[in-house]
Amino acid sequence: MISKLFVDRPRFAIVIAILTTIAGLISLLRIPVAQFPDIVPPQVQVTANFPGASAEVVEATIAQPLESQINGVDGMIYMQSTSGNDGSYSLNVSFRVGTDPDQNTTNVNNRAQLALAQLPQEVQRLGLTVRKKSSAMLQVITIRSTDGSLDTLFLSNYVTINVLDALRRVPGVGDAQMFGTRDYAMRVWFQTDRLTALGLTPADVIGAIQKQNQVAPLGRVGAQPMSQDSSYQLNITTTGRLANTDEFGAIIIRANPDGSVLRVRDVARLELGAWNQDVETRLNGSAALLVQIFLSPGANAVGVADSVGATMRQLATRFPAGMGYEVTYDTTTFVKLTIHEVIKTLLEAFVLVVIVVFLFLGSIRATIIPLIAVPVSLISTFAVLSAMGYSANTVSLLAMV
């Protein structure tokens, strides 16, 4: 019945073929390209840190309050958490496929804020991080020292300030995370024998540092209302947060009755180093950092990889001497090879169909039919894939073959 409709009306069939071909060509330019179908549920990650705590303490003080509040959030299917002996905590909440990642993040954040008051003060001070997480890794970019002149600490802070934000702004990038982060921090090494002799505890030193290393607004001089008019208004400023070992070492812990003072440098050794040194990353023996690029849902993996490459080439022009980068892992390499092989196979199959039809029918006019019908069918398939929300991936391309 359907075939008779098109056979009896060739002009109608030609118009339909042209329209579906145009729709397929447009979809071909816009359809997402990925290695696998988008079947991974969207995730939201909650992270916290409790310095000095064991995994058991983290589980009791952070995991239980947070998970009891977050459990059952709208659209959730399951969640998985990890408590580390370094005081770190990570919770991954998975949602149904097709839910809005931004709305999921908002819902989880609202639940997490309800549990914030139940967390230890130190955890509250450091804060909770709630962000959407993509498990579709696109690339791993290694930032390294090419001549050994730069250490991991310098690389980490340079990448944090100058590279990560630029990569996150690339269209199609869901997130860019650094593995082996080493943020600058003032490390205080206690001399326990001196602390014991002076009747002090580490908490006393920590409390003194927290109280004296802060920004305090002091107001203005000459602001109205005043008993006498003033021609000037002056803002009072302070030094603010301390910046080097000498300033931190001069922090007063205790004032003695004889007028002498006890300072941090008297009971501890100070150095400017990394906040966390649990992870060491190297490439061929040189200091290096790994930047993981994650793909946002529905993005074109090949196009995003090209945009990331262009961004990195632009950023590399401003790298300091001795710093370089290379892409050490790229999922689009397999995708590009797959597309190449699929196109090659389709062309071979097309030629074989034309040859077989010509040999068995012995008519050039009959051969023209598959010569036109096959490209129309293949190109129109992309319009159907796009309309159904599918991507051009390994599975769908092999299905076309």
pLDDT tens, residue by residue, 78-96: 999 999 888 889 999 999 8
For domain 41-135, say whether CATH 3.30.420.240 is its number.
no
CB 38 within 8 A of CB 111: no
* Domain boundary assignment for the chain: 2-35+335-400, 41-135, 136-183+275-330, 185-220+233-274
pLDDT tens, residue by residue, 181-199: 777 888 889 888 888 888 8
pLDDT tens, residue by residue, 340-373: 888 888 888 888 888 888 888 777 777 777 777 7
| 59 φ, ψ (degrees, to nearest 5) | -65, -40
Tokens standing for 387? Answer: 């309309």
pLDDT of 1 reads 58
pLDDT tens, residue by residue, 31-51: 777 666 666 788 888 999 888
Q: Residues with Cβ < 8 Å from 226, sequence gap 6 or more?
A: none
Residue 401's pLDDT band (boundaries 50, 70, 90)? low
| 327 φ, ψ (degrees, to nearest 5) | -90, 110
Rounded Cα gap, residues 17 and 377, in angstroms: 9
Rounded Cα gap, residues 272 and 72, in angstroms: 44
Checking if the pLDDT of 216 tops 90, the result is no
Instruction: Note the CATH number of domain 136-183+275-330.
Output: 3.30.70.1320
The highest-level CATH class for domain 185-220+233-274 is alpha beta
CB 177 within 8 A of CB 90: no
Handedness of CA 353, 356, 360, 363 (dihedral sign): positive
3-state helix, strand, coil in the chain (%, to 5): 45, 25, 30
Helix H or strand E segment including 107: helix 101-115
Q: Residues with Cβ < 8 Å from 368, sequence gap 6 or more?
A: none
pLDDT tens, residue by residue, 222-243: 777 766 766 777 777 777 777 8
Give the end-to-end CA distance of the chain in Å, rounded to a whole number.
Answer: 28
Rounded Cα gap, residues 17 and 326, in angstroms: 46
Give me the residue label for tokens 């003032």.
186
Rounded Cα gap, residues 323 and 283, in angstroms: 13
Tokens standing for 170? Answer: 């690339």
Helices 332-361/364-387 angle, 10° precision: 150
* Half-sphere exposure of residue 255: CA atoms within 13 angstroms, side-chain side: 1
The topology (CATH level 3) of 2-35+335-400 is Multidrug efflux transporter AcrB transmembrane fold (1.20.1640)
CB 31 within 8 A of CB 298: no
Query: What is the arithmetic mean of pLDDT over 320-333?
Result: 88
Give me the residue label for tokens 């008779």.
4
Are both 41-135 and 185-220+233-274 of the same fold? no
Across 116-150, b (16+ Cβ under 10 Å) vs e yields: eeebbeebeeeebebebbbebbbbbbbbbbeeeeb
CB 382 within 8 A of CB 26: no
Q: Residues with Cβ < 8 Å from 309, sequence gap 6 or more?
A: 327
CB 308 within 8 A of CB 293: yes
